[in-house]
Structure 1
Amino acid sequence: MTTPTFDALRGQLLDAAAALADGPDALAGILSGIVDDVDRALRERMEIFPVCHHSPASALAMARRLREKQPKVIYMELCEDMLPLLTELRNCRLPVAVQAFASELDGFPQDWAPLSVVAPITEASAEYQAIAYALDTPGVELVLVDRSTDHVFQWQPRKDKTAETAVAPEGEELPEAPPEDADLHGDAVGVEMGDLRPRFAELEQHLLHHGKVRHWSEWWDQYVEQPLGDADYDTYRQVMVLIGSLFRRLAPGAHDRVASDEERERYMWTRMRQHLAATGADAADCLYVCGAFHAASRVDEFGLDGADTYEISPRTATKWHYGLIPSSHSAIEAQFGLASGSVSIAAAVFGKSLTRTGVTPYRLEGQQGSGAAPKKKAKAAAVVSPVSRQVADRLSGFLARPPVLDTLDEDELLGWSVEIVRLARRNGYLASTADAIAVFETSILLAGMRNRARPTPYDFQDAAVTCIEKESVPGRRDVRRLCEIMLGGDRIGQVGYDSLPPLARDVHDRLTPLGLKLEQRGVQRALLDIAARPELGRCSDVLWMLRYLMPQAAVRPIMGERRLGETAIQESWDLALGTHQRELIELGYEGITVEQVLEQRLRRSVWGPQATASVALRAVEDATLYLRSRRFADELGARAVDLLAAERTVDDAPEVLRRARRLLAHYRATEPVLPGWLESFVKAGYAHYCTLLPNAFVDEETGTRQVAAMLGFLFSMESLALSLGCDRTQLELAVAQSHPTTPAKTALLWAAQHQLGRMSRAELRERCAELLANPLVLPAYPQYLSGFVQALEPVPALAGFVVEAISEAFAKLPDPVLLPWLPTLITTLRKEGGDHVGLLVREAGRVFPAGLAALDSWTPPWSAQPAEPAATGAPRAAAGPVTALLTAHPEPTDALAALLGCPGPWQQPDPEPGTGPVHDLLRRHPDTATALATVATR
């Protein structure tokens, strides 16, 4: 059913469509349908107030209409579960964003975590005007009717999770780098009332081209904001619904988006009818505030008399946390794909409109960052139902009337030109008075080329960039950014102390002794003299936990560190908690105190699906450092034992060795006995690595560093493991069963055999000499050296031998062989043995002479050593160091002779060399002499 109100306009549009298309077609249906949408929205018994987000015209019209109508119930398009947070806005400085956050999901895939939804609110927005009016006016109820945050993700698959985050359309010129503070919202999904933008790319490009503007924000400001700024309420409503209907009908290829919009509209109208039925409120006293796109809805549920068959699906069991986080103009622009500076310009236009029109805006009482709103004690106008009054056709006159060209405000433009030159000079540009004149004249020229008498802020920006920036940017801000700062600045919001979650307030309270304004943005230096003021030690504990939980830029230590067994005396910190207020607030969603959050995260890390023994050991170390909880550390340590026993790979062996050594040294120095879990860990690790050692030697995917770490754990923990009941035979069998095929692992095996006493150093020298003498093996010799370098982890006593092996290679190889071989040696040592180069350098410094003068007469110590006896064979006991050793220390020989039944004057010299009872005894039992000789030559 249609009313005669818009018959004249409908006829004009149909005649135009017929003339253009040479007969009735789809164009006529679209134009007629747009008029029907406007007619339908205006005939609805509940008054619909269409808005566009961050529109000064919408905010101004809202303030006027609220004072005129004085509604008792306001239905608003915003997530219904965010309503309790709106009262906290009075404790904040706008802009801020209402946030819903969930880290533990139930009903959504776990890889979606964390889920976050934000709804930014600025002072120059229609929704804030409605919120301020409803919260500060007695007897007025504010009802949020849009889908819940849970339904936001129920209705969107993962690939469309950020569908509501607008993307910069083709043709827009956005800055290459994001503006400052553009990431205040993180990766949250943004929801905002009044997303009004063409979803037909060709239509948007057509409007930008013929409007002679660069981006959509400029087109909207020139052709919608300025004409509607002084328009009456009926004209405003009809134009906004007309634009919403146009963009809704011209949306080809956006069926999924339109279906989601229609689902939201069914949801909102169902909620409004449910509320009216429950409260008995009169529709004439209600106001429905929604985006102009939704005001032109065509769903069956539209209106109070619409269908009532829609069923709202239940929410999932996901637990949502709610709070306020700081926002900024640049963050809103970045999230919703608006042109840089458009929100700041909109705020400046709103302020100028208030001054020009004399409209008093609504502000929450006690709102930070603004003075209290003056209370206007004017008599409220009589409420007039939209149905009872006759709605006139304002669209015909608005569409037929040419745009009003504002006169040039020379004083305003001149002030802009002078101010931008001043800012440019402060930021390194060589700007002068001549540039100010050029900006002034170019702004007027550009405005004339774009068919407007008064330059807009966008014309001024283009003129300033052309005249001042030229080809280079000397500082970190370009001229376009300076224009945004000058015209309104990137206003950054702040959440007040009373609206912070308990954890954030607790952090502020516990850091009070520092005497800093933690809510202030920027970096502040905190100096902690813990020795003079012991109470600052508790502040240090909080800072170190925040350092662990928050981004590094928020809490950064300048002086001081926290290690096991160390106590800080003085510390220095750079704190930026005010700048990173969002991260601190989101931390508060996880617990009441930082200790609770840290314990939860550590527990979650060791019981997660990707947990390993090294992760658990790190958690034990962190719990000891930050929480100082022996009970919790023991719990995590017991989990580390279970994880180590369940591992089937040795990829984390180096990390396990490093952390196990550190924890063992800490407990030995601070505790009378070792914790039970650590003893169990050593026992389990000894058996575990002995079992996996033979396979690790032959496995191609297991690196040399991992095998060296396994051997390092076995050899360094051997004494403790044996005292706890482990069997050394298990290690000997594991080494005996190892048969590596790569040179590096072969060298590791030789080092292990040497440590076990199965291979002497002389035999190691012989094998290295054989490798150098074999031209077929020579190209792989750097890999053998790499294995020996890695062997310093389990057998650090081999440092001298590794220096000897490298020195022998340099001494014996000829230059034609050595020079091509050097790059491979250097890259191999750098890649495989970087951690042990320092040990080799120190050993080389100890062995080699300190000056060049002594180098000519220097003899390597390994060349001066006598040859070692072979592992088997007859002893050379006739003369030499063995005889001298036995003569100087006869007690072992006397005891051995007594056991063998050969008493005699052993200390008397033999009558002749090579004769006598001593030599007879040694010839009959050569093993003892061989062993003693080996020890003596070491």
Structure 2
Amino acid sequence: MSAFEPLREQLASAAEAFGAGLVDDVEQALATDVEIFPVCHHSPASALAMVRRLREKQPKVVYMELCEDLRPVLDELVNCRLPVAVQAFATTIDGFPKEWEPLSVIAPITESSAEYQAIAYAMETPGVELVLVDRSVDHVFQWEPRSKESPEVAIEMGDLRPGFAELEEHLLHHGKVRHWSEWWDQYVEQPLSGADYETYRQVMVLVGSLFRRLRPTGNEVDENRERYMWTRMREHLAASGTDPADCLYVCGAFHAASPVLGEQMEISPRTATEWLYGLIPSSHTDIERQFGLAMGSVTIAAATWEKALKRTGLTPYRLSKAGKPGKTKAKLPAPVPHQGLQGFLTQPPVLDGFDEEELLGWCVDIVRLARRNGYLSSTADAIAIYETSILLAGMRNRKRPTPYDFQDAAVTCIEKEHVPGRRDVRRLCEILLGGDKIGQVGYHSLPPLAQDVYDRLAPLGLDLDKRRIQRSLIDLDTSPDLEPCSHLLWILRRLLPDDAVRPIMGSRRLGERSHQESWDLDLGRNQRSIIELGYEGVTIEQVLEQRLRRVAWDEKATAATALEAVEDSLLYLRNARFTNELGERAVELLSAERTVDEAPDVLRRIRRLLAYYRTHEPVLPAWAESFVATGYAHYCTLLPTAFVADDTGVRQVGATLAFLFTMESLAMSLGCERTQLELAVQQSHPEAPPKVALLWTARFQLGLLSMAELRELIAGLTDNPLVVPTVPLYISGFVQALDSAPALTPFVVEVISRAFAKLPDEVLLPWLPKLITTLKDEAPELVPTLVREAGRTYPARLPSVDSFVPPWDAPQSAPAPKQVVVSGPVAELLARHPETGAAVGELFGCEPVAVAAGRAATTPLVAAHPGTVNAVAGVLVS
């Protein structure tokens, strides 16, 4: 006896048990009192078998694997053009992690699916009830792991794909195919399309059992789902008294092979989350992307479905609007010879024969389509595609070339090196076979918000359901009745993707009004986005208000984001109460900030808002005055720290000073004191060159530094060879200061000009690139101010350059002090207080006062204002 005989017997026993287990699963599924119909989604074979079985059995109750709370939405399918998706949506959640918000469940439906055929049968046949038995959407997320971040659940009814990666790889390799969709089409879909019902059921359960047993983990959640569904079915049977023999249970083949068939469970209550339900457009491409199917596989399945209907003569079930029954008369299913599971597995399947006419038509049409899209294809390419398709089918053990073989042959023979246009050959093949069919939700199935949008845009006279770009021209002067349409379009522009609503002419800014507008509208292809807005509110204005409120009260909100919300509220909502609420929130956020990082954005937005209120309102709103007063005091407090903080840029410090100096007059009128700013500047001691330059300009504006002293400091920089490389940084700081002190623009031009005139070439040439990059990075919007000032300073013509003398180098002749002889109260006042008179004159830049014999000689100060001086002197002397 061999040493490996025990192991051999053990492996043989395991293989025997595994095979027997597959058969046991099939037997168990067929023995249930409620007939199980196993399906694979988007499978023409499943849809054909469903049509045959429904016409033969005529069940009274159809149980379906789909979230039970989605049942009311299915009634709206009658108003839609498939494919569409049933959606459940929750914006505000309760009982789930906050980071999951918002939650969404999507279940796509196509006409070539067994589920749609069952839905249409149940809704179109009197006395038939459709019951959804799968978990509610709330339970879907209850069963999600709490460690998972932001789950997006897309339910594929009847999903059937192996969860064992090694098995899938093995099947693809030996099946000589590239993708699971192609393997399924060749080895399951095509053989089952002509099989009898019992064979179909047994094979589908067998495949589901195989994939289930080879799946390494994750069966616990599936078993709980199956217990949930059987619990709902038993509850319905008990409540309705329906005979189980009159029922049909439609589920994925994976669930049909469950070991817990018939078991029940105690169902937990739902959370307090409020779910919204509706229908959204879908497409073949969306379905393929959501569920990892091969590109074009859903389109190929739809084409196979249409061809199978013509071949078999079956009439499918379709939903028709009330009062409009279908025109086609249902045909009885053609008898199909019984084969059974054993016969199916031991005998080669009977496939369709080689359809030469079909393949020739494909080859000719793809060449014609390729030439329209820029390819240099010819009749020779059509012949090559034909022969290559047959060759590939033979290499893959196929008698008839499939659409997948045709696609590969077309790519090989036509595309060659590059794609001349925006569509490659594989995409052209999909278009040839039927294209990317895109669904549409009918008006009566839209949520109230979407219906309101369509109704309010009706005066434009456009068909908004069309899936193409439409141009709308609006003249607001001659057609003021279109003003509401224009306003709604701007709100849609704010909420929808950029390609949905795009302005060609016209703008929406604070204080502006467009006289004429031109719009490109593509709402037909963006219907899904409009529908999803309907899950957030009843009107478009309510949705925008909720979003602005959510942004302003977010935990990461800043004063700048709140001011942006204020601006959007003024532009789109015209709701003074809500705008004031947002403004008060901005004041609250500003007072809580601990850095000046948002100062540039805050300054830009508050300036724009103040300019709007000053031109359109009689007085500033209370929140705006509070914002300025709070900002003045707050930025004064943060200024010394901002000057020395390494992580605070010069741009932020410059914006802080600009806020303080440009808002100073308004802040003073609101009770603020300039002493706060003076103390803040005196307490600031920066070391970085740009911030030092900013501090110098701030001291100059406060009168703590004269222009002569400022020029002396700059001269010290250019005279010191160790400091010369950092002069561009100082200039950057001076440029940043122009926002708060525009009067310094001539001085900054003087500083740059002196540096260019004084520095030698060996210093200037390495220095110049740094100056340019520094100005570009730190103050790009202020450089035009410098350029304009330089244009005013320097001569405009070349011949004048040689004789040009800059104003800062022109000789300054001091005028002789003008002596004015005064008498009376003024002379008496000056005689009594000569020191005071001299101090006041010196403060105003005047010569000292000379007093003699009751008469006084003074400076132009008295001469310029004789009336004022005499009046003041008369009061003081008396």
Give the TM-score normalised by structure 2. Answer: 0.92
Query: Is the Cα–Cα contact under 8 Å of residues 654 and 737 in structure 2 kept in the other structure?
Result: yes
**5+ unaligned residues in a row in structure 2: which ranges?**
838-846, 866-878
Taking the aligned partners of 1:566 and 1:633, their CA distance within structure 2 comes to 18
Tell me what 2:18 maps to: 30
Taking the aligned partners of 2:853 and 2:716, their CA distance within structure 1 comes to 37
CA gap 1:469/1:918 in 2 versus in 1, 3 angstroms: farther
Matches within 5 A, 1:767-846: 767-846=713-792
1:204 partnered with 2:204: no
1:881 partnered with 2:812: no
Taking the aligned partners of 1:638 and 1:925, their CA distance within structure 2 comes to 55
Taking the aligned partners of 2:420 and 2:735, their CA distance within structure 1 comes to 51
Q: Pick one of 179, 196, 220 that aligns with 1:232.
A: 196
Report how far residue 852 of structure 1 moved: 1.7
Report how far residue 226 of structure 1 moved: 1.2
Taking the aligned partners of 1:102 and 1:764, their CA distance within structure 2 comes to 62
Secondary structure, aligned partner of 1:571: strand
Tell me what 1:183 maps to: none
Q: Pick one of 92, 99, 106 that aligns with 1:104.
A: 92
Q: Pick one of 208, 214, 218 that aligns with 1:250.
A: 214
Secondary structure, aligned partner of 1:142: strand
Report how far residue 379 of structure 1 moved: 13
1:268 partnered with 2:229: yes
Moved more, 205-214 or 528-537: 205-214
Equivalent AA in structure 2 for residue 469 of structure 1? E
Secondary structure, aligned partner of 1:862: coil
Equivalent AA in structure 2 for residue 372 of structure 1? G
Matches within 5 A, 1:297-696: 297-299=258-260, 302-303=261-262, 306=263, 308=264, 310-366=265-321, 372=326, 374-376=328-330, 394-696=340-642
Q: Pick one of 901, 905, 917 that aligns with 2:850.
A: 917
Secondary structure, aligned partner of 2:161: coil
Show CA shifts across 1:37-57 (max 9, x none): 000001111100000010001
Report how far residue 901 of structure 1 moved: 3.2
Taking the aligned partners of 1:113 and 1:248, their CA distance within structure 2 comes to 32
Tell me what 2:830 maps to: 900
Taking the aligned partners of 2:123 and 2:445, their CA distance within structure 1 comes to 16
Query: Is the Cα–Cα contact under 8 Å of residues 50 and 289 in structure 1 kept in the other structure?
Result: yes
Query: Is the Cα–Cα contact under 8 Å of residues 492 and 501 in structure 2 kept in the other structure?
Result: yes
Q: Cα RMSD (Å) of the superposition?
A: 2.9
CA gap 1:18/1:137 in 2 versus in 1, 3 angstroms: farther
Query: Is the Cα–Cα contact under 8 Å of residues 84 and 279 in structure 2 kept in the other structure?
Result: yes
Report how far residue 668 of structure 1 moved: 1.1
Secondary structure, aligned partner of 1:74: strand
Report how far residue 507 of structure 1 moved: 0.6
Equivalent AA in structure 2 for residue 917 of structure 1? A
Taking the aligned partners of 1:747 and 1:846, their CA distance within structure 2 comes to 24
Query: Is the Cα–Cα contact under 8 Å of residues 47 and 287 in structure 1 kept in the other structure?
Result: yes
1:54 partnered with 2:54: no
Show CA shifts across 1:609-661 (max 9, x none): 11221112111111111112222211211222222122222111111111111
Taking the aligned partners of 1:530 and 1:564, their CA distance within structure 2 comes to 18
Query: Is the Cα–Cα contact under 8 Å of residues 732 and 779 in structure 2 kept in the other structure?
Result: yes
**Greater relative contact order (CA < 8 Å, ≥ 6 in sequence):** 1
Taking the aligned partners of 2:14 and 2:853, their CA distance within structure 1 comes to 122
Tell me what 2:870 maps to: none
Equivalent AA in structure 1 for residue 762 of structure 2? P
Show CA shifts across 1:136-163 (max 9, x none): 1111111111111122222222665799
Query: Is the Cα–Cα contact under 8 Å of residues 393 and 399 in structure 2 kept in the other structure?
Result: yes
Equivalent AA in structure 2 for residue 297 of structure 1? S
Query: Is the Cα–Cα contact under 8 Å of residues 897 and 903 in structure 1 kept in the other structure?
Result: no
Report how far residue 898 of structure 1 moved: 4.8
What is the aligned residue count?
Answer: 848
1:703 partnered with 2:649: yes
CA gap 1:71/1:846 in 2 versus in 1, 3 angstroms: same
Tell me what 2:874 maps to: none
Taking the aligned partners of 2:828 and 2:435, their CA distance within structure 1 comes to 100
CA gap 1:848/1:379 in 2 versus in 1, 3 angstroms: closer
Taking the aligned partners of 2:79 and 2:806, their CA distance within structure 1 comes to 78
Tell me what 2:683 maps to: 737
Query: Is the Cα–Cα contact under 8 Å of residues 55 and 332 in structure 2 kept in the other structure?
Result: no
Equivalent AA in structure 2 for residue 88 of structure 1? E
Secondary structure, aligned partner of 1:472: coil
Report how far residue 221 of structure 1 moved: 1.1
Taking the aligned partners of 1:920 and 1:518, their CA distance within structure 2 comes to 96
Give the TM-score normalised by structure 1. Answer: 0.86
Matches within 5 A, 1:50-199: 50-157=38-145, 188-199=152-163
Taking the aligned partners of 1:267 and 1:781, their CA distance within structure 2 comes to 76
Report how far residue 925 of structure 1 moved: 10
Secondary structure, aligned partner of 2:37: strand
CA gap 1:93/1:898 in 2 versus in 1, 3 angstroms: farther
Tell me what 1:180 maps to: none
Secondary structure, aligned partner of 1:362: coil
Report how far residue 24 of structure 1 moved: 3.1
Taking the aligned partners of 1:863 and 1:409, their CA distance within structure 2 comes to 95
Secondary structure, aligned partner of 2:473: strand
Taking the aligned partners of 1:341 and 1:227, their CA distance within structure 2 comes to 21
Show CA shifts across 1:300-351 (max 9, x none): xx12xx4x4x221222222111111110111111111111111111111111
Secondary structure, aligned partner of 2:480: coil
Report how far residue 88 of structure 1 moved: 0.5
Query: Is the Cα–Cα contact under 8 Å of residues 333 and 342 in structure 1 kept in the other structure?
Result: yes
Query: Is the Cα–Cα contact under 8 Å of residues 92 and 367 in structure 1 kept in the other structure?
Result: no
Report how far residue 406 of structure 1 moved: 3.1
Report how far residue 895 of structure 1 moved: 7.9
Query: Is the Cα–Cα contact under 8 Å of residues 314 and 331 in structure 2 kept in the other structure?
Result: no
Query: Is the Cα–Cα contact under 8 Å of residues 474 and 482 in structure 2 kept in the other structure?
Result: yes
Tell me what 1:175 maps to: none
Report how far residue 864 of structure 1 moved: 1.3
Taking the aligned partners of 1:680 and 1:525, their CA distance within structure 2 comes to 45
Report how far residue 836 of structure 1 moved: 0.5
Query: Is the Cα–Cα contact under 8 Å of residues 112 and 158 in structure 1 kept in the other structure?
Result: no
Equivalent AA in structure 1 for residue 103 of structure 2? L
Query: Is the Cα–Cα contact under 8 Å of residues 89 and 367 in structure 1 kept in the other structure?
Result: no
Report how far residue 666 of structure 1 moved: 1.1
CA gap 1:66/1:790 in 2 versus in 1, 3 angstroms: same
CA gap 1:233/1:504 in 2 versus in 1, 3 angstroms: same
Equivalent AA in structure 2 for residue 237 of structure 1? R
Tell me what 1:168 maps to: none
Q: Pick one of 837, 840, 854 that aligns with 2:800.
A: 854
CA gap 1:427/1:920 in 2 versus in 1, 3 angstroms: farther
Secondary structure, aligned partner of 1:863: coil
